[in-house]
Amino acid sequence: MNIKRNLLTILFLTICGIGIAQDYKKNIESEFSAYLNSIVNMEFEKSMEYITPEFFEIVPKSQMIALMEQTFNNPTMEFEILNPKILSVNDFQKIENKYYSLLTYSNQLNIKINSEDQETKDEKEMRINLTKQSFEQTFGAENVKYNEKSDFFEIQSQKDVYAISENGITDWKFLVIEKKQKMILDKILPKELAEKI
């Protein structure tokens, strides 16, 4: 009788554990989708609510909002973010008093560089080639296409992000992993995570 009860207890706890594990991943996906949607809809102030607060101790929130507005409202460029998709959410790790889960997502960036009206054919070709090379260095040659009809660069982007929570279940905040921002990431992430970047 005791063996049956112990087995049922173990089974129940296992099922509950799996359910909780799936719930925190669903919360991460839901909150990250809200973060991405706020950027796609150019609600930059709202998007800041989803970024880990430690980031703003290094880069002020007002500066981040101004930078995003400047980028997306730049008259010399047109931006579109399409098809954001969460590709994976890893199991969390508890380090000190926080939980960290690595998330990978992708989207398509369409970027058009508006030219001056007097641009010659040769100047346009040179501008397109230089811009394409720059994007290829950042995103990889296989992820960059130039669409001659629309004059947009179509870029497939895939990024890693750390989801960070104090309780491991809700209120996830995000930190996008950019190698060129390693100095900032080193100040925010625990050493064992920062070393993997």
What tens digit of pLDDT does each residue of 112-143 get? 988 777 778 888 889 899 999 999 998 899 99
> CA 83 → CA 54, 55, 69, 112, 133, distances in Å?
29, 26, 21, 18, 24
Give per-residue pLDDT as tens, 36-88.
Answer: 999 888 899 999 999 999 999 999 999 999 988 888 888 888 888 888 899 99
pLDDT at 93: 93
Average pLDDT, whole number, for the chain? 86
Locus of tokens 């507005």: 69
> What residue type is assigned to position 53 of the chain?
P
Q: What is the pTM of this model?
A: 0.80
Interatomic CA distance for residues 101 and 45, integer angstroms? 24
The helix (run of H) or strand (run of E) holding residue 165 is strand 152-165
What is the extent of the structural domain holding 24?
2-194
Number of domains in the chain: 1
CATH code at 132?
A: 3.10.450.100
pLDDT at 20: 44
Interatomic CA distance for residues 126 and 92, integer angstroms? 47
Pick from 185, 165, 190, 183: which is nearest to 175 by CA? 185
